[in-house]
Amino acid sequence: MLNARAAVLFCRTGAQYATATAATGVVQGSSRCLHTFPQTRPEEGPPAVGLGLELPHLKRTGCIYLDYNATTPIFPEVAAEMAPFLFEHFGNPSSGHTYGRVCKAALDTARGRVAQLLGASDPLEVHFTSCGTESDNWAIYGAVMAARMAQLRLQPQLQPVGPPPHVVTSAVEHPAVLVHLKHLQDQGLLTYTAVPVDGEGLVDPDQAAAAVQPNTALVTIMHSNNEVGAVQPIAKIAAAVRQAHARAIAAAGGDAQGAATGALLVHSDAAQSTGKVELDVEALGVDALTIVGHKFGAPKGVAALYIRRGVTLPNYFHGGGQEAGRRAGTENIMQVVGLGAAAVVARQEGPQLRKHIGEMAERLLGAVRAEMRAEDQDKLWVNGPRDPARRLPNTLSLSIRGLNSALALQRLSTQLAASAGAACHSADGASVSAVLRAMKIPLEFAKGTLRLSTGRHTTAQDVDRAAKLIVEEARRQDILG
């Protein structure tokens, strides 16, 4: 039985809120409703808190939140737009009646908002999904299946059928890419090459191009790295790999086995970039691009895959005709509305948000240095690109030589929310983050890595206090004097 108190619905009419219980389903007052957890006081309502101001519920916990790369809180403006679709606007957008039409209109509006954020020429290039993993999996699977179908169409001329499609990726991709590639390779559906990164976590476009083969069907390289913030030169990579593919096909005879996989597609996972740096799919030269709602103020459980108009990408889900027949399943309207609202916030606040999160990250680094003694400064290392233009403004990957970062985060878990750059700390370093290993960060630094990521609601007080906590913990471990 649902606990009625735990399922309070509160509705705002000016400053007044009326309540209803899930047991009766009867709502008194306005129909603009928002579901709350038991610890939230109904009289508070959606907090009217904007850029640079602390959210009340974050303040109440007493725990500084510097883990925005893991997830963001739902922005108040986003929650306000989602609220009516929790209770009042419940229709199926595929239905032709009033309830359905309202939700279909909301779906179309959200699609247009996301398209504007990405610089897409046509809203129908935006396809809503459940998460970034689904979007990445779809892009990879779709590109590979399109290449396989191209091979089969030419099968009479290819005896035997040519090699499986080839994919180029990087050594620092999200598991949604690398694990899926490994899975499909184990099934014999593709082969792939993971190109290395340099000491700053960046992919060299020439190395990506050198990995291209005549049968390369897809190049998938993330737009920015979630750990060290390295922003990849996607436009240069896209141009380089396409030129390399054309040369490889010409060298193979134009219509040889490898060339039968068809056009080379370029995909980028921009989950960490959305809302932090400007995205323009036309300028990037990508055929597909992943964005994820909960990384920029929308709820968890909603994402999108941009697919350039004219690109053949077979369906990953099969069933109904939703999403222009490309992604079956009734759309989660409330979540999609949230994604669209977050896209509006990102567009409206873009330059100011980037300035704020960048200033907070720089202040945090400066505060950590200021807390450390002069003789200890050489124990601190910042991972990622030195050039601010080549890294996410909010991401600070700090390594303190000799620190046990897992222990530090465990001890600070009620005071500071952050992430470690290493999943665990074995003596031989085998479990150090794959990203740091790929960057060849020395083991004594890699094991002491903290990923600190600022966000829309990070304050100067947050970062100053966090710096003190980090340095105090390092001293507690006898790492710093």
What confidence score (pLDDT) does residue 261 get?
A: 55
Same domain, 404 and 330: no
Q: Are 289 and 270 in contact (CB under 8 A)?
A: yes
Question: Comparing 133-147, 414-428, 447-461, which segment has the lowest mean pLDDT?
Answer: 414-428
**Residues 24-65: pLDDT tens digits?**
233 333 333 333 333 333 334 445 567 878 787 777 788 999
Residue 157 has pLDDT above 60, yes or no: no
359 vs 353: CA distance, rounded Å: 10
Same domain, 328 and 471: no
N residues, the chain: 481
Residue 11 has pLDDT above 60, yes or no: no
Mean pLDDT of the chain: 86
**Which of 344, 366, 390 finishes a domain?**
344
Same domain, 340 and 355: no
Confidence bin at 139 (pLDDT 50/70/90): very high
**Per-residue b or e along 413-441, where b marks 16 or more CB atoms closer than 10 Å to that residue's CB:** eeebbbbbbbeebeeebeebbbbbbbbeb
* CA distance between the termini of the chain: 56
Beta bridge partners of 224: 231
What confidence score (pLDDT) does residue 49 get?
A: 66
65 vs 144: CA distance, rounded Å: 40
Residue 268 lies in a domain: yes
Q: Look at residues 83, 79, 136, 12 and name the one whose alpha carbon lies nearest to residue 342.
A: 79
Residue 300 sits in a domain whose CATH number is 3.40.640.10
Residue 464 lies in a domain: yes
Q: Which pair of structure tokens corresponds to residue 189?
A: 């559906």
Sign of CA pseudo-dihedral 409, 411, 413, 416: negative
Helix (H) or strand (E) holding 215: none
Same domain, 223 and 301: yes
Same domain, 292 and 231: yes
Mean pLDDT of 112-134: 97
Q: Are 292 and 271 in contact (CB under 8 A)?
A: yes
What confidence score (pLDDT) does residue 59 get?
A: 73
Confidence bin at 91 (pLDDT 50/70/90): confident
Residue 365 lies in a domain: yes
Provide the edge-to-edge strand list for the sheet that holds 288-292. 126-129, 303-307, 288-292, 265-269, 216-220, 166-170, 191-195
Same domain, 234 and 307: yes
Same domain, 324 and 362: no
Residue 102 lies in a domain: no
Residue 99 has pLDDT above 90, yes or no: no
Residue 82 lies in a domain: no
Active-site amino acid positions: 424
Same domain, 322 and 449: no
Same domain, 319 and 391: no
Residue 57 lies in a domain: no
Same domain, 326 and 386: no
What confidence score (pLDDT) does residue 28 get?
A: 34
pTM over 0.95: no
Counted domains in the chain: 3
Higher pLDDT, 11 or 327: 327
Residue 374 sits in a domain whose CATH number is 3.90.1150.10
Residue 212 lies in a domain: yes
**Residues 186-204: pLDDT tens digits?**
999 999 999 999 999 999 9
Residue span of the structural domain in which 15 resides? 1-45
Confidence bin at 20 (pLDDT 50/70/90): very low
Same domain, 286 and 361: no
Q: Are 274 and 284 in contact (CB under 8 A)?
A: no
Percent of the chain exceeding pLDDT 90 equals 70
Percent of the chain exceeding pLDDT 70 equals 83
141 vs 147: CA distance, rounded Å: 10
Q: Which pair of structure tokens corresponds to residue 213?
A: 């083969």
Mean pLDDT of 430-454: 92
Residue 241 has pLDDT above 80, yes or no: yes
Mean pLDDT of 396-407: 96
Mean pLDDT of 207-216: 97
Residue 109 lies in a domain: no
Residue 76 has pLDDT above 80, yes or no: yes
Same domain, 218 and 129: yes
